[in-house]
A and B are shown apart, each in its own frame.
Chain A
């Protein structure tokens, strides 16, 4: 970005500023200079406004942080690219995306991390941080060069959806990660119990004759993971908990002082196994959509803070990926466009307070990723999302920004729309 733009001084005026990290919720102006938050409320001495954003009747909050978004680059550019998806992120008020290591090639060398960083910089629409592979090629056998990958900028390590079949390898991988103060991001799913299933083992899978993934695939993995986490003392994060029982196990471990956090993805807060209806492949997710009761318990845990982040679990696909018989379709939802509007619906349904919700989209994920963003503190990087909470719009092929159109929310009317996104003080999105 040219320096003169970077130095632009912006006043965001008249908005309701919600900054959960600093317990701020008041109508005031926000002043941005030099890519940072210069002041809140009072005009700083000698501040001249280059640009004014009228935020009256709108909400001003830190730029959203998405702990899991697949951008499909490198390796699957026919699905999406870093450029296309960071543009979608900006239009959704998301300023930081965390990309898991299951790209092709896998993020197990500093070169791949560097490639992603350069592509993100070239796109210039969102900050992209990466998780490094826990094992080489995610093979579950040999440790990756975690220290070098951390030095290259990776914010944590993960084996993504690939199984760590051998508990001894897992123990050593977690110990090694702990040595270098790396957070381990775990996808709790027992490979054998999941048994190549494609839906929750429950009424719907039974009716449709789909191979089921039992609740125990998640809880057995969480139990094993927690045992090894407690043994090694590593800081760990559970990605995408889907069952009420696993959430209960997590809450217990947190109560006992284990250094564990967890997130939930938006689809699991709105959908359940029932939405598969008659083989709707847009509802083919891994881990699978669970029961209506599980969904309620996820909402409760989000409200209580046991689950400290909401993510999109963005998985854009080309149309063909979903045009097959249900079990043969590729799992996942394109979620960047609907992250904020779906989350806001939780407030509408009185499942969570607005400030708590914004915490789960900003300060919560920032803490999980160990990043200094998700705050509007004076001196902090000016990542800002301005949204109109009452503006209604429809998600359709005309409005969706992600290249992946695979979402069961296509055609859905949403309330709440991002109007401006600032990334380090630069305006990266404005609604016309």
Chain B
């Protein structure tokens, strides 16, 4: 089954949200517009809309997460859904129950939506291919493949700061592209939104094979890579990369790829600095940059809630509009 038919129903509506690739620009803009309409909700004193009242959403996390799980939970609650958090650590998964068994058991409890994070690339796609027809699946990160809600909240942040015309933007993504599901999703989203230029910056050990085939320009030098860019997205560097002989030391990495006020001078004067979090201060960037005026790192977190509300409501609405509610748009 192609990803298109899995993610999008016959009416072109979102059915599951598994990856950015396979979607189209119109849908991405719909998500961003819907998220925009929800930002009002998150700023009200009563931060709830009844769109998903009576629905049950399960946060099914096979991998640890604080930020993503929390914002998904908040998003679901603000849509008035019932939320269940299930953390299945590696150890309990290894007791023998297969992923499919876990899924069937939860389905038997009449769940309407799964928000899934899993260490294997393709896990969300696998789950979506195997759930009952009325259940929607939202990918909250699968292996190194995709983290589409993170990419959408990043697009949302860029659009808010830079305006809707991505065509005039140069964006550089700096860091561990190889192991990053965030980077893959960002690259797809930026290209779907017609971004002027998408660059990736890292040593060769952290760039995947044929990275240019994703629609990027590859740089190994930070100063060249961020020259005249409008947006810099820094990626988190995992400590274990030092053990895998991918990098010699955090010190050398920071020297070459860490973002400092000095290096920022190479980019556009009104550059925006982003990071999906959590930040390793002094590894990916200086505190001066992270907390400085160009940083929108905390706005990204706030936008995460509105974007996740948008995706959840859109994936849930087309096949079963709420009966007792006025039609949601």
Contacts and interface: CB of A to CB of B under 8 A. Distances in A.
Chain A, interface size: which category?
20 to 34
Contacts of A327: 120-122, 143
B146 interface: yes
Contacts of A212: 208-209
Given A209-B181, A278-B2, A325-B118, A201 B209 contact: yes
A209 B145 contact: yes
Interface string B210-252: 1101100000000000000000000000000000000000000
A326 B210 contact: no
A163 interface: no
B179 to A, nearest CB: 9
Contact of B142 (A202, A211, A325): A325
B83 interface: no
B210 to A, nearest CB: 5
A328 B120 contact: yes
Which DSSP category, helix, strand, loop or mixed, fits chain A's interface? Answer: loop
Contacts of A323: 98, 100, 130
A228 interface: no
Interface string A214-232: 1000000000000000000
Contacts of B208: 205-206, 212
Contacts of B144: 209-211
Given A209-B146, A209-B184, A277-B2, A203 B120 contact: no
Contacts of B122: 208, 210, 278-279, 325-327
A320 B98 contact: yes
B207 to A, nearest CB: 9
Contacts of A324: 98-100, 120, 126
A325 B144 CA distance: 13
Interface string A309-336: 0000000000010011111100000000
A203 B213 contact: yes
B210 A206 contact: yes
A58 to B, nearest CB: 39
Contact of A278 (B1, B98, B143, B181): B1
A350 interface: no
A406 to B, nearest CB: 15
A23 interface: no
Interface in B56-110: 98-100
Nearest to A206: B208
Interface in A207-265: 207-212, 214
Interface centre among B99, B146, B184, B209 (most CB of A within 10 A): B209
B269 to A, nearest CB: 34
A277 B121 CA distance: 13
Main secondary structure, interface of B, reads mixed
B210 A202 contact: yes
B256 interface: no
A209 B210 contact: no
Contacts of A208: 121-122, 145
B321 interface: no
Contacts of B162: none
Contacts of B21: 207
A206 B214 contact: yes
Contacts of A326: 120-122, 126
B123 interface: yes
Contacts of B6: 278
A211 B120 CA distance: 10
Nearest to A328: B120
Query: Which of B125, B145, B214 has the most chain A CB atoms inside 10 A of its CB?
Result: B145
Contact of B213 (A206, A279, A320, A328): A206
Interface in B232-287: none
A209 B121 contact: yes
A5 B243 CA distance: 67
B55 interface: no
A324 B125 CA distance: 10
A206 B120 contact: no
Given A323-B100, A325-B99, A210 B211 contact: no
Contacts of B211: 206
Contacts of B214: 206-207
Contacts of B2: 277-278
Contacts of B1: 278
A181 to B, nearest CB: 42
Nearest to A326: B122
Contacts of A277: 2
A205 B99 CA distance: 23
Nearest to B123: A325
Contact of A207 (B100, B123, B130, B184): B184
Contacts of A202: 209-210
B3 interface: yes
B125 A278 contact: yes
B223 to A, nearest CB: 26
Contact of A325 (B121, B181, B209): B121
A210 B121 CA distance: 6
B210 A203 contact: yes
30 contacts: A202-B209, A202-B210, A203-B209, A206-B209, A206-B213, A207-B184, A208-B122, A209-B143, A209-B184, A210-B121, A210-B122, A210-B144, A211-B144, A212-B208, A277-B2, A278-B6, A279-B126, A320-B100, A323-B98, A323-B130, A324-B98, A324-B100, A325-B99, A325-B123, A326-B120, A326-B121, A326-B122, A326-B126, A327-B120, A328-B99
Interface of B: 1-3, 6, 21-22, 98-100, 118, 120-123, 125-126, 130, 142-146, 181, 184, 208-211, 213-214
Across the A-B interface, give the 8 residue pairs with the lowest CB-CB distance, nearest first.
A209-B144, A209-B145, A279-B122, A325-B120, A325-B123, A326-B122, A206-B208, A209-B121
Given A209-B146, A209-B184, A323-B98, 11 more contacts: A206-B211, A207-B184, A207-B213, A209-B181, A210-B144, A279-B121, A324-B99, A324-B120, A324-B126, A325-B142, A327-B120
